[in-house]
Amino acid sequence: MTGDGSFERDRTYITTRITADGRDGFPVEAGRYRLVIARACPWANRSAIVRRLMGLEDVLSLGIAGPLHDERSWCFHLDPGGRDPVLGIETLREAYDRREPGYPSGITVPAIVDVPTGRVVTNDFERITLDLGSEWAAHQRDGAPDLYPEGWRDEIDDVADKVYRDVNDGVYQCGFAAGQQAYDKAYQRLWARLDWLEERLAGRRYLVGDTLTEADVRLFPTLVRFDAVYHGHFKCNRQKLTELPALWAYARDLFQTPGFGDTIDFAQIKAHYYVVHHDINPTGVVPRGPDTSGWLSPHGREQLGGRPFGDGTPPPPPPPAERVPRLGRAG
């Protein structure tokens, strides 16, 4: 927290990269690494989406931390015996401590772990998705999209930076504000940016160009969590996502695109925010709503044109072990 009660995110990450040439000591190798995510976490959601879009399921295994944790670490309480079946650990902190004993910063997801040593290689969530789309090219599926095309990178970076500052992190600045003035400033920035996005997406299918890009991958995880947790739990309550015509249609369009909605587990999302954030929700009561069946309703965005995967193709369905529950009505 800053002096005026504003929330300030710790941006200290392990920036080691896994690259095709192995210049940081970690070359891309099929089967060597494990991507650890939590279905609840929006930052981890990005890497789960890109892994799906690139078709890396057979070469980069997926560990899933449960939605509940304490101040020390994410843990694998959903796995048999409470241990990750590949890494053999109960908490993600164990992999961080193997990288640096007494690791002093946040134990965050996503994290990529070197399976032979059990050490975290990187938790730099922004770099992870970019590298999955580029450095892992030799292992990508046929038809994998280019999410960071060279000719659009400046615009992608500009839009993604605005989205990160005011929306991805903006909802947290609202939710964790420790003073009215800090909250009011964050709230105003959030809604000014959401209004900007509503206008931008009214006449175009995707944020940049006519295909899916890294910018869309970065916005979607916040939008899909908005009505379920951010609107009420984080006091981002000027309007619901469902009351913003362009953004709601855009979010449904992405949700129904293979690789996006099939990474979303609303029950785990709500359990994490409403149970773990004791200071915001001390009772730990998890709301029954909202109704999620609307995510599968027609969005009508096809009339705006665009080609979701560019010259590529949709990914196949996720492996059976990675499938999430089907949507249904709340209650």
Q: Which residues are annotated as a binding site for glutathione?
A: 74
CA dist 31 and 83 (Å) reads 19
Contact 133, 147 (CB under 8 A): yes
Give the three-class secondary structure for 37. strand
At a CB cut-off of 8 Å and minimum separation 6, what does 167 contact? Answer: 190, 193, 194, 197, 219, 222
* Residue among 116, 115, 119 nearest 14 (CA): 119
Active site residue: 33, 96, 148, 172, which one?
Answer: 172
**Degrees (nearest 5) of the Cα angle 158, 159, 164?**
100
At a CB cut-off of 8 Å and minimum separation 6, what does 150 contact? Answer: none
Strands (E), the chain: 33-38, 61-65, 111-114, 119-122
CA dist 38 and 271 (Å) reads 12
Give the three-class secondary structure for 214. helix
CA dist list (Å): 53 to 89, 108, 192, 315: 28, 23, 31, 6
Active site residue: 33, 41, 96, 183, which one?
Answer: 41
CA dist 130 and 246 (Å) reads 27
41 is catalytic: yes
Residue 315 has what DSSP assignment?
Answer: P
Residues labelled as active-site residues: 41, 172
